[in-house]
Structure 1
Amino acid sequence: MKDKLAQATEDFKMLLQESKMINHKSMTSIKESEQHLRDIIDILKKDKRYHVLEPVAEERTEMIMSYLEELEARGLPPPPTATEPSRRKEMLDETPEIDLNTDWKDAKRLFKEDPRYLKFSSSERKCEKEFNEYMKDKLAQATEDFKMLLQESKIINHKSMTSVKESEQHLRDIIDILKKDKRYHVLEPVAEERTEMIMSFLEELEARGPPPPPTATEPSRRKEMLDETPEIDLNTDWKDAKRLIKEDP
């Protein structure tokens, strides 16, 4: 139950942070009129995370007040500002002609009129270094995205490598399915490496063999049983809980 209370408390704190009605001025408004606190609570009541803490209602109110005091002490949040590196990354992201084959010379020609480029740097070498780092990150992200695509594919399993060895048509069938997703095409400039990734993944699945049947551990079964007993709340003790679940196998 301690874990359940801790989780409910964290969830409620997240609800407070998400609330659009609460800001650094809320505490002042409450001091002027308690109606503002009632208005805040009326909004929070629309979310189940408020009601889970009903058995500890007093502590819940204290959490609300503490959060309002914390926001008041912080004051007005500073306006979001974009750093120069983030502006440059934004500029690169917004240039669709840049793919994994684009070098610095070609990229520079594509966005030379963009005011964000003019602030890139006075050093050509520094500009090129930052661009190369961006491209390295872009390739790494595209690679991770493609690996995720392979894992999501329903046509690929531990038998796929055997099927490919028996007939190359099976590999073409796999590729035809993958081509329906943009994550395949992003790696077009490194097509050879993309094919190697597919084959490596098939070999890995073949080596692993068939996946084990899903099984639930005893602790997870017990937690599932408790989660599925709606009568159990933060006020429930072991004696009452045992009575509620005693017939469950």
Structure 2
Amino acid sequence: STAREDSEARKEREKRERQEASIRKREKEVKEALSNTMMERDKERESHLRSDAESTYHSLLVDLIKDDSLSWKEGKKILRKDNRWESVGEILPRSEREKLFLAHIDNLVKKTKDILYKFFNDCESVTFSSKWKEVKRKLQEDSRLEKLLSNERKCENEFNCWADEMESKAKDNFMDLLKEKSFLLQKAKRQSSQEDTFLDDVLNTLKEDKRYSALDSIHPQRLLLLEEYLDRLSD
């Protein structure tokens, strides 16, 4: 009887211990779930704050930084005058603000370049052999573009880069023309007995093509390219 009572008491105790262990396990799971939920909420809140700060800072840059020649040091002096600078500073570290500032400057540089290149490409009177003074005058005639000349050296540098690209492209196109006409050139080379008449024959086969006339402004270089190509042709 006593042994049976002890056995039942033991079973009851073990049952109670299992229940208590189950409760403790469940409490632990609930705490972990709550902790994870809080962490997720904190992450979401932090993400929203950061996103809002980046958006505010972007607006600040667009509103105040319009000169793509500004350094970070110069830009900070301008940005600090706006109270948005302090508010974003609580969320975005200085290194991040500098990174976004430089990205904004790069975007301004690209935008200016795209505008100028479009103008150079669209204006028929502007070619790679144009003088900067002529191009500048054309820019001044367009009220939408005149403000870009506040940094004239930059505009001139962009024109020089564009002109170099266009000249290189025109020369490549001319070489393509020579390759296309290689059969006629070889024939003219074989049939010509004198150098002068030979060149005349060759030029007559090329002059009607725009890829030839595109190099009119640098005809000595065009002639040199032609002579070098002819020298390489097999008899």
TM-score computed with the length of structure 1 as normaliser: 0.46
Structure whose alpha-carbon radius of gyration is higher: 2
Structure having the higher helix fraction is: 2
Question: Which has the bigger relative contact order, CA under 8 A and spacing at least 6?
Answer: 1
